[in-house]
């Protein structure tokens, strides 16, 4: 990335953070980077790696190009109405969430549902039937992850949850038998339950679309 693009990325990142409500340290942690990574972006004497910029953009649910265009003043941020489906989440099936798509791409794009802000939101498709009939295979779920770890508001709720082996699940998250352990519970009585799992993060589902309402764009 050239210096001009880095400067535009820095400007666009500030705009995007203000609009999406991100703070520097939580965004750094959500991107899986050191706690000062975002702060370092704004230090003119430093030149961040492209991988660092990419990780930050991905954590925000945006692409590098989008943030650069924001910084150049070429993008009307309020008009964005599409969300990329980053990968599939296991509801009984073991799935690795594939979210390393170039330029903010994914499996496909869906229209942002009314009332849901398009920024800072991640969409995934359900694979497996352990959460049926509420969450059927092919449903699209929307969630927001502000940081690593399992926040208190995730407990007892249906969440997208990543274990320490990078598998991503759709389950109800409940406290386990010891600190740092969690039970992952299926809605479907025939589905797989996981007890005392170690999680990297969990985020409650904000909204879901059943397969017949998913509109690819």
Mean pLDDT by 10 residues, the chain (217 residues): 77 85 88 90 76 86 82 63 78 51 66 70 83 86 84 93 86 95 90 92 91 82
Do the beta carbons of residue 101 and residue 191 sit within 8 Å?
no
The predicted structure's pLDDT at residue 129: 80
Domains of the chain: 3-71 (1.10.260.40), 81-213 (2.10.109.10)
Question: Which of helix, strand or coil describes residue 113?
Answer: coil
CA gap 99, 152 in Å, rounded:
25
The predicted structure's pLDDT at residue 108: 86
E strand segments, the chain: 82-90, 108-111, 122-127, 140-143, 158-163, 168-175, 182-185, 194-197, 199-209
The predicted structure's pLDDT at residue 91: 64
The predicted structure's pLDDT at residue 101: 45
The predicted structure's pLDDT at residue 48: 77
Tokens of 47: 């030149």
């Amino acid at each position: 990335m050239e210096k001009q693009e880095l400067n535009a990325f820095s400007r666009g990142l500030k705009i995007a953070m203000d609009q999406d409500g991100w703070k520097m340290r939580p965004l750094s942690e959500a991107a899986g980077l050191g706690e000062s990574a975002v702060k370092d972006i704004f230090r003119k004497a430093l030149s961040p790696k492209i991988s660092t910029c990419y990780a930050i953009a991905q954590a925000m649910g945006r692409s590098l190009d989008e943030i650069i265009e924001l910084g150049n003043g070429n993008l009307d941020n309020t008009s964005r109405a599409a969300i990329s489906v980053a990968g599939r989440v296991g509801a009984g099936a073991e799935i690795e969430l594939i979210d390393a798509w170039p330029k903010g791409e994914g499996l496909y794009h869906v229209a942002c549902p009314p009332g849901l802000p398009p920024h800072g939101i991640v969409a995934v498709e359900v694979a497996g039937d352990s959460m049926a009939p509420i969450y059927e295979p092919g449903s699209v779920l929307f969630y927001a992850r502000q940081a690593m770890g399992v926040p208190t508001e995730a407990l007892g709720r249906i969440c997208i949850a990543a274990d320490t082996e990078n598998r991503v699940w759709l389950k109800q998250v409940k406290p386990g038998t010891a600190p740092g352990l969690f039970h992952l519970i299926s809605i479907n009585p025939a589905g797989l339950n996981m007890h005392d799992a170690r999680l990297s993060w969990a985020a409650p589902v904000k909204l879901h679309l059943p397969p017949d309402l998913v509109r690819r764009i």
